Amino acid sequence: MSERVSDIRIDAQFDSGNIEVLEVKGASATLAIPRDHMSEFRQWFHFRVAGARGRELTLTITGLNDTAYPGGWPGYDAVVSEDREYWGRAPSSFDKEADGGALTIRYRPDSDIVFFAYFAPFSMERHHDLIAAAAASPGVEYRCLGTTLDGQPIDCLELGEGGQQVWLYARQHPGESMAEWWMEGALEVLTDPADPVAMGLRRLCRFHIVPNCNPDGSRRGHLRTNAVGVNLNREWHEPTPEKSPEVLAVRDAMDETGVDFAMDVHGDEAIPVAFLAGFEGIPSWQDEQGEGFYRYQRILDRRTPDFQTEQGYAKSKPGAANLTMSTNQVAERFGAVAMTLEMPFKDNPAAPEPAQGWSPERSKLLARDCLAALLEWLGDTTTESPAARATAETWQDDERGRS
Ligand code: ZN
């Protein structure tokens, strides 16, 4: 058999695909990451390599020093899949000095088709699978909040019979795909009729869940912006139909329901652990409202080693909160306990998992812990089962009957 010398082929014209091919030579390629449309942001990549079965691929992504978060590249391994179900890691090395900052990915696929991405993609097709499955679950109501600039629906799922208005929303930043994996995990819990955490939460809360706030950016393969290059998480003070109809739709719906508890789900490029950011610095800050956030943070910290409080964002000084960001706006506007959840693109050094790093699976597990923490946060009495309550009520009736 003669040695194969044909060039590999690289494609990215598909849902959330994003790469520019500068050069291909045999099983090596020099690549760059295109900017989000009408924006300077760039960091998300997702592409397919064909024709490399059994060959050592060397893929070099160049020009990374002026990406949105250059701190995302050191210590980062690219995500790879041959079946688009299991996403592992391909050993990658970052050289700040080479080609304006170059990430070199090395991988020897067993198949002629292999996909690489910044994080395990969550496609719009999978989004529709998620919405359809949840909408078909007992007790779930579907609501379309509005339409994006590309004409996609802004999907919202509602469930629960309680009075606590809980808003969970994700993927304002479309390249942070772990946020929608988190949503898949959360919806699996909440729509499971036999899940005791879900039973308690459905009894106490009315959930409003927007698994993807930025479908256009998601389909276009953007890191951070919508169809017209707007960062949605800087639009919450004054959203407009022209620039940020997604935020306007979600915020209008929140105005209708009010908000008691809100979680905005994201990923952070540089910090390799999961953490929460609160709403310090809002004009109407009350210690009691703030303590509601800190108490939730403590509960989650106790529940899972995949969450921590040592690393995170700096808190805003009194009065200095940026009200264009959703967590600050929602805390200020509704007096809600609002928070931003950040998950890593890298791996948790305290509990490393070299084969996958931070993964869809861990994002989904963290969602379970976040919901269990919410139930605990809402109060210990609420964890008692409906059966136990029924028994207690029966006893009460008996007492009354005897008197
Ligand atoms: Zn984000």
Query: Mind listing the pLDDT tens digit for each residue in 19-48?
Result: 999 999 999 999 999 999 999 999 999 999
For ligand 1, the distance from its centroid to the CA atom of residue 136, given in whole angstroms, is 30
Measured between alpha carbons, how far apart are the two ends of the chain, in Å?
Answer: 95
Question: How does pLDDT run across 308-321, given as a tens digit for each residue?
Answer: 999 999 999 999 99
Residue 383 has pLDDT above 90, yes or no: no
Distance 118 CA to ligand 1 centre (A): 14
Task: Using the mean position of ligand 1's atoms as its centre, give its distance from the Cα of residue 182 in Å.
Answer: 14
What's the CA gap between 159 and 138, in Å, rounded? 9
Reported as a single tens digit per residue, the pLDDT across 168-198 is 999 999 999 999 999 999 999 999 999 999 9
Q: Determine the pLDDT at residue 3.
A: 56
Determine the pLDDT at residue 4.
54
The tens digit of pLDDT for each residue in 283-299 reads 999 999 999 999 999 99
Conformational region of residue 225, where left means phi above 0, alpha means psi within -120 to 50, and beta covers everything else: beta
Ligand 1 centre distance from Cα of residue 215 (Å): 14
Cβ neighbour number for residue 86 with a 10 Å cutoff: 14
Summarised one tens digit per residue, pLDDT across range 118-137 is 999 999 999 999 999 999 99
Provide mean pLDDT across the span 61-83. 98
Q: Between residues 236 and 402, which one has the greater pLDDT?
A: 236
State the catalytic residues: 342
pLDDT mean over 152-168? 98
Please report the beta strands in 171-317, taking only residues with DSSP state E, as ranges in sequence order. 205-210, 261-268, 275-277
Average pLDDT over residues 105-112: 98
Percent of the chain with pLDDT over 70: 93
> CB within 8 A of 335, min separation 6: which ones?
284, 286, 289
pLDDT at 5: 76
For the segment 377-388, the average pLDDT, to the nearest whole number, is 58
pLDDT at 130: 98
How far from 9 is each of 16, 23, 209, CA to CA, in Å? 18, 11, 40
pLDDT value at residue 257: 98
d(C-alpha 393, C-alpha 174), whole Å:
48
Q: How far apart are CA 380 and CA 376, in angstroms?
A: 6
